[in-house]
Amino acid sequence: MIAYSDPAEFETPPREAGSFARVRTFAFSGIEAVPVEVQVQISSGQMSLIVVGLPDKAV
């Protein structure tokens, strides 16, 4: 069986606002687990990477 889909059906229009994601996880401080929230924003334009906060040594 061969299935075919037109790729144009799945294309989405470009967004000007970009994307935003938030992930909640944990980091270890000794034997204690500390909650951590990571936020990521993706937008069009110049490529850049900005780290805000104090990353753990495991990063």
Can you give the pLDDT at residue 16? 58
Can you give the pLDDT at residue 4? 47
Whether 38 and 20 have beta carbons less than 8 Å apart is answered as: no
Can you give the pLDDT at residue 58? 57
Please tell me the distance from the alpha carbon of residue 9 to that of residue 7, in angstroms, as a whole number. 5
Q: Tens-digit pLDDT profile for the chain (59 aa)?
A: 344 455 555 455 555 566 777 888 888 888 888 888 887 777 777 677 777 776 666 55
Please tell me the distance from the alpha carbon of residue 21 to that of residue 45, in angstroms, as a whole number. 18
Can you give the pLDDT at residue 1? 38
Whether 12 and 31 have beta carbons less than 8 Å apart is answered as: no
Can you give the pLDDT at residue 7? 52
This prediction has a pTM of 0.42
